[in-house]
């Protein structure tokens, strides 16, 4: 990358390939140019985002089509997270193409929507962590009216407030940071070009959510450990089940985004590869763990895709799911524990 313009508020660079997934969490400061790596990272990011978009669509179709799957709080949070993540991935796929029109108005619009869905994605990941904490640790006994409605207002309203403030204070915080002439010579990306805005509304926001999610993740691991101690099981199947739970929560809580904060020094390039691969495929992994590998989801598909005696058997089987081995003290606990344990994943 080459420095185009630099002042007290932001630095603009001209880069041939700065459209990989890391661009969302890497400020427009100039980085060493390694054309081959940038090209590969871009290909990985676009392929991953395309795959994620497809499987997020399948996930949404599944949970919206089958009413039985979306009765609990975690499933409703998962639906909202999938919508936000789908918007983020689809905008990422068309971002550079829309930037190529060299229209400042279009680029500002695209950057604002990209920013909105980015913040919404992390907000819903954070809300998912909060719901887990309330369910597994606090176990509140009092009824919370409009629980999901309040989550929805925060999950979609907070990002809207942040983006609206950025637009009201300085609409030119969004853009490419490149002139029209330079736009024709490099691959542009419509995003935040003001460093102060970027670090306040993106880096600090993501850091706060990641601290929250890591804390909840550790709490969940402790709870899993306690359950295994109370009910010893040294079998390989039990270990693999716990491993799948940990992996599924890693992607649900977005813990793989932490990689961008440690991508420094000699390990920077390998970690950027890992970051781009895992995060561009986050939607696919959500489908894998919360659709393909969940017994109750597969049963719903079989019920509605098959007919005759098998279909009747599945309906009968679904009505006898046994939750009695768990003692639930609240609605939230009843929601989250089946999500982690009762709806077992299959190898």
pLDDT-derived band at 34, boundaries 50, 70, 90: low
Strand intervals (E) in 103-177: 174-175
Q: CA–CA separation, 249 vs 217, rounded Å?
A: 8
Q: CA–CA separation, 48 vs 279, rounded Å?
A: 8
From residue 282, how far is each of 50, 96, 161, 218, 229 by CA, in Å?
A: 11, 21, 26, 20, 32
What is the tens place of the pLDDT at every residue in 162-212?
Answer: 999 999 999 999 988 554 443 444 457 899 988 899 999 999 999 999 999
The dihedrals phi and psi of 346, each to the nearest 5 degrees, come to -110, 145
How large is the average pLDDT for residues 247-268? Answer: 88
pTM given for the model:
0.82
Please give the pLDDT value at position 5.
54
DSSP calls for 235-247 = -HHHHHHHHHHHH
Please give the pLDDT value at position 17.
41
> By 3-state DSSP, what share of the chain in percent is helix, strand and coil, each rounded to 5?
70, 5, 25
Domains of the chain in start order, with CATH, are: 2-342 (1.20.1070.10)
CB 59 within 8 A of CB 291: yes
Number of other CB atoms surrounding residue 342 within 10 Å: 14
What is the tens place of the pLDDT at every residue in 11-23?
Answer: 555 444 446 777 7
- b or e along 214-247 (b: 16 or more beta carbons within 10 Å of the residue's beta carbon)? eebbeebeebbeeeeeeeeeeeeeeeebbebbee
Please give the pLDDT value at position 109.
96
CB 86 within 8 A of CB 53: yes
CB 125 within 8 A of CB 253: yes
Of the chain, the end-to-end C-alpha distance in Å amounts to: 45
How large is the average pLDDT for residues 35-57? Answer: 92
What is the tens place of the pLDDT at every residue in 95-138?
Answer: 989 988 889 999 999 999 999 999 999 999 999 999 988 887 76
The dihedrals phi and psi of 233, each to the nearest 5 degrees, come to -155, 105
Please give the pLDDT value at position 267.
81
Residue 202 C-beta-side C-alpha neighbours within 13 Å: 29
How large is the average pLDDT for residues 292-306? Answer: 87
Residue 211 C-beta-side C-alpha neighbours within 13 Å: 6
pLDDT-derived band at 6, boundaries 50, 70, 90: low
CB 344 within 8 A of CB 323: no
Three-class SS of residue 225?
helix
Does residue 74 have a pLDDT over 60? yes
How large is the average pLDDT for residues 222-233? Answer: 71
Please give the pLDDT value at position 227.
73
Q: CA–CA separation, 28 vs 34, rounded Å?
A: 16
pLDDT-derived band at 139, boundaries 50, 70, 90: low
How does the average pLDDT of the chain come out, rounded? 79
């Amino acid at each position: 990358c080459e420095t185009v313009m630099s002042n007290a508020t932001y630095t603009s660079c001209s880069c041939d390939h700065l459209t990989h997934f890391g661009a969302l969490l890497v400020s427009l400061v100039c980085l060493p140019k390694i054309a081959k790596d940038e090209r590969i990272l871009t290909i990985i990011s676009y392929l991953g985002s395309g795959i994620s978009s497809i499987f997020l669509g399948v996930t949404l179709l599944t949970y919206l089509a089958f009413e039985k799957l979306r009765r609990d709080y975690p499933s409703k949070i998962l639906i909202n997270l999938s919508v936000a993540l789908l918007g983020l991935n689809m905008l990422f796929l068309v971002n550079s193409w829309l930037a190529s029109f060299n229209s400042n108005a279009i680029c500002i619009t695209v950057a604002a929507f990209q920013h909105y869905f980015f913040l919404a994605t992390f907000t819903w990941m954070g809300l998912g962590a909060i719901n887990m904490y309330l369910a597994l640790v606090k176990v509140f006994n009092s009824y919370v009216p409009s629980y999901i409605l309040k989550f929805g207002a925060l999950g979609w309203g907070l990002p809207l407030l942040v983006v609206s403030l950025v637009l009201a204070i300085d609409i030119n915080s969004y853009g490419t940071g490149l002139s029209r002439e330079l736009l024709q010579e490099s691959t542009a990306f419509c995003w935040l070009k003001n460093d102060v805005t970027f670090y306040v509304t993106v880096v600090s926001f993501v850091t706060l959510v990641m601290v929250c999610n890591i804390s909840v993740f550790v709490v969940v691991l402790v709870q899993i450990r306690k359950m295994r101690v109370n009910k010893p099981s040294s079998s390989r199947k039990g270990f693999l089940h716990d491993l799948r739970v940990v992996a599924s929560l890693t992607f649900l809580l977005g813990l793989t985004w932490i990689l961008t904060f440690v991508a420094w020094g000699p390990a920077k390039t390998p970690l950027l590869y890992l970051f781009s691969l895992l995060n561009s495929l986050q939607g696919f992994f959500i489908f894998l763990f919360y659709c393909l590998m969940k017994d109750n989801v597969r049963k719903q598909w079989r019920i509605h895709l098959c007919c005759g005696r098998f279909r009747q058997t599945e309906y009968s089987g679904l009505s006898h799911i046994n939750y009695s081995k768990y003692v639930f003290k609240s609605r939230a606990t009843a929601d989250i524990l089946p999500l982690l344990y009762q709806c077992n994943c299959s190898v």
